[in-house]
Amino acid sequence: MWLIVGLGNPGTEYADTYHNVGFRVVEHLAYRWGGRIRIACGPALISNPVMVGGAAGQEAVLVLPQTFMNLSGSVLPKLFDRFETNSERLLTVYDDIALPLGRLRIRQKGSAGGHNGVKSLISSCGSDAFLRVRVGILPERPIERLHDFVLSTVAKRDRELMSHSEVSAADAVEALLREGPEKAMATFNRLDLRESKEE
């Protein structure tokens, strides 16, 4: 059983922010795979197990932590126990301010890179070896206060590219589970959605 965890902050006031792109990607996967993220499991909302699109025999549970971002890892122990799994079957999706908007990065392990949600996951797992899909959110224009920016509503000028990024991130999750990390990284780590926008 795969656990696919979208990182974000709960509450309608955060739903359309840059920091909640992980939530939106997982919600898109729920729509795509016919799941509903409504079941309480500790400090998280989860779906019933769903079949991963295009990945024969692969099942996943979609997870939205209901803690705030810096406590995201607290949802994992109960999930690992309930589904008899561990961090080797964990895949997380989250925003990355170090990547330009329109770029994705798939990684199999690594540091938190300053992301408090990922830092919490690593602390809870006791390992940084879990799959992640990082979704770039850095716009081409200058930003002033980083904290204020990530918690701001996605700007109108960024919405189209953000929407395409979220769909591509969902595609990347499917590719990871269908084809494995190496093939998925070869496809999505070089993808630049800004180029298609310019065309």
- Reply yes or no on whether the pLDDT at 197 is more than 80: no
Region 17-33 average pLDDT: 97
Question: Sign of the C-alpha dihedral, residues 17, 90, 80, 41?
Answer: positive
Residues in the chain, overall count? 199
Query: Is the pLDDT at 54 greater than 80, yes or no?
Result: no
Domain enclosing residue 130, as ranges: 2-198
pLDDT at residue 44 tops 70: yes
Mean pLDDT in residue range 45-57? 88
Domain count, the chain: 1
Res. 156: pLDDT tops 70:
yes
Contact 105, 56 (CB under 8 A): no
Res 53: pLDDT: 82
Taking the CA atoms of residue 11, residue 151, residue 18 and residue 185 in that order, the dihedral angle to the nearest 10 degrees is -100
- The strand pairing partners of 2, in sequence order, are 60
Mean pLDDT on 132-151: 95
| Predicted pLDDT at 198 | 54
CATH number of the structural domain spanning residue 20 = 3.40.50.1470
Contacts of 198 (CB under 8 A, 6+ apart): none
Q: Please list the active-site residues.
A: 19
Mean pLDDT of the chain: 95
Residue 126: the pLDDT is 94
- Per residue in 167-186, pLDDT (tens digit) is 999 999 999 999 999 999 99
Mean pLDDT of 7-22: 97
Q: What is the pLDDT of residue 55?
A: 72
Cα gap 184→188, rounded to integer Å: 6
- Residue 78, pLDDT > 80, answer yes
